[in-house]
């Protein structure tokens, strides 16, 4: 039987940390795909407007920042706080920053989508509705 660590069996703690590590590894893989898409975009869409290029760069940058924050959170949970139940119950700065960066990234993605809808269809009301929904989502995510 596994030895308990402050009331939590070590097998359960290892399962939780294993899932956290696996999620971070999959996130790193997806970030690699995102990097490839960004490089492809910047190489093949040089005629796009500056605003579109800035939006794509912003979304890419917030995704990279999100990955670094997730890596920091995983490190703090797995290395700094391994086996210490008091540390595993506490939120670190990176845990809180992940929520903010995710909300900003989501707003950037929806803003980019709204801009593309407006540019391609000239439907500013539809674009405005997308942005209103994006700001409502942003407000509730904080």
Tens digit of pLDDT for each residue in 115-138?
A: 999 999 998 999 999 999 999 999
Which of 68, 69, 74, 64 is closest to 21 using CA atoms? Answer: 74
C-beta separation of 105 from 59 below 8 A = yes
Report the C-alpha gap between 96 and 99 in whole angstroms.
6
pLDDT digits over 98-117, tens only? 999 999 999 999 999 999 99
Q: Could you tell me the pTM of the whole model?
A: 0.78
């Amino acid at each position: 039987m596994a030895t308990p660590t402050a009331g939590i069996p070590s097998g359960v703690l290892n399962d939780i940390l294993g899932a956290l590590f696996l999620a971070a590894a999959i996130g790193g893989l997806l970030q690699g795909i995102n990097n490839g898409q960004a490089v492809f975009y910047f190489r093949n869409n040089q005629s796009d407007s500056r605003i579109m290029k800035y939006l794509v760069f912003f979304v890419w940058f917030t995704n990279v920042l999100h990955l670094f924050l997730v890596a920091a959170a995983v490190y703090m949970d797995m290395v700094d706080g391994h086996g210490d139940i008091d540390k595993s119950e506490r939120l670190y700065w990176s845990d809180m920053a992940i929520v903010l960066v995710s909300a900003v990234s989501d707003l950037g993605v929806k803003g980019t989508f709204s801009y593309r809808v407006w540019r391609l269809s000239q439907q500013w009301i539809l674009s405005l509705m997308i942005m209103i929904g994006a700001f409502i989502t942003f407000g509730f995510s904080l």
